[in-house]
Amino acid sequence: MSAWLTIVAAGIATFALRFTPARLLAGRPVSARWEQALDFIGPAAFTALAAPALVVAPATATPALARLAAVVVTVAVARATRSTAAALAVGMPTFWLLAALAAAG
Amino acid sequence: MLPLLLGVAPLGLIVGVQAAAADLPAGVGAATGVTIYGASAQLAAIDLLGRGVSPMIVVATVAVINVRLALYSAAMAPHWARIGTAQRVASAYLLVDPSYAVGLDGYRRSTSVAEGHVRYLAAGLTLWVGWQALITVGMTIGARVPAGLHLELAVPLCLLALVAQRVDSRRGATAVAVAGGVAVAAHGLPLATGLVAGILAGAAVAARSTPR
């Protein structure tokens, strides 16, 4: 029950942020710094979610080298192709291949 | 509309994969798509709830991640000034990064506010329906793929792939590196401190290094 209440409360908080048209900001020029900070909440949140999932247990149950290689390959393909799907389509098999080699070796 | 959906497809599927893997009551993971409706906040909520973090902290973390939506809302204010309450509620509810980008562009290209609004609502609704479907498909995939394939690793890889495309300056790279480093270093601390500290540190670095 508590989990349901939590996501409903989180939804209400989110809706308030969407609906209340930020009266303090509306009609006023937003400073470049503030805008830059808000712009980076997205990428910062993604990285802050991703990094522990790759470095902290239970991820550590998988071969470290395979994980590292998958990260490097995924980021490189994402930058080169600008396609998330392509990055994952190369990144995950990289992990599978190296993890299988690590298990065999 | 199709490019819009294709763009968010990996992320929607990943939210589903994460929801399937998390230790949550049935339906809660998928329901975040309806209540929260925003990938990063959904992923954080699912992750934290699955780890048994207290509800207040989960709500606060979601709010921190979604503060940017208030800025989008402010940017939409002139376009939404003359529409009815029901439409304004719907428009606000559908406001999220892709609908904001496409919607703002639609208002600019339209000859009237009404036409722009139709474009925004059409894009927003398509995105919403597609998003719920993607989460459902992702949950199905997540539940069926053998655990030995470690599909859960696709979640952080997908997030990093998106960050890699978005960040193309040294200052941006520094900001996300700080966010990740702080999140890892503080991961063991209670109350989801690592996640929130990582986000705020990254955003602060981005703001501090902005040339004035």
Asked whether B30 and B135 are in contact (CB, 8 A), the reply is yes
pLDDT of amino acid B141 = 93
Q: In this complex, do B198 and A51 lie within 8 Å of one another by their Cβ atoms?
A: yes
pLDDT of amino acid B82 = 78
pLDDT band (50, 70, 90) for residue B96: very high
Q: In this complex, do A6 and B59 lie within 8 Å of one another by their Cβ atoms?
A: yes
Tokens of A21: 């048209």
Tokens of B91: 């428009």
**CB pairs A-B closer than 8 Å:** 274
- B65: closest chain A residue by CA: A41
pLDDT in tens, B163-185: 898 888 888 889 999 999 999 99
Instruction: Give whichever of B90-99, B127-136, B140-149 has the largest mean pLDDT.
Output: B127-136
Tokens of B194: 């690592």
Q: What is the mean pLDDT of residues A70-82?
A: 94
Higher local confidence (pLDDT), A25 or B179: B179
Q: What is the DSSP letter of A59?
A: G
pLDDT of amino acid A26 = 52
In chain B, residues 137-166 whose CB comes closer than 8 Å to chain A: 149-166
pLDDT of amino acid B31 = 96
Instruction: Give whichever of B99-103, B126-130, B147-151, B202-206 has the largest mean pLDDT.
Output: B126-130
pLDDT band (50, 70, 90) for residue A39: confident
pLDDT in tens, B115-141: 888 889 998 999 999 999 999 999 999
Asked whether B160 and A79 are in contact (CB, 8 A), the reply is no
- B47: closest chain A residue by CA: A49
Q: What is the mean pLDDT of residues B51-57?
A: 91
Q: B66 at the A interface (CB within 8 A)?
A: yes
ipTM of the complex, rounded to two decimals: 0.85
pTM of this structure? 0.81
pLDDT in tens, B3-46: 678 778 888 999 999 999 998 998 999 999 999 999 999 999 99
Q: Tell me the C-alpha distance between A85 and B8, whole Å.
A: 10
Chain mean pLDDT for chain B: 87
Question: Residue A91, Cβ neighbours under 10 Å: how many?
Answer: 27
Q: Going by C-beta distance under 8 Å and a sequence separation of 6 or more, which residues neighbour residue B12?
A: B39, B130, B131, B133, B134, B135, B137, B138
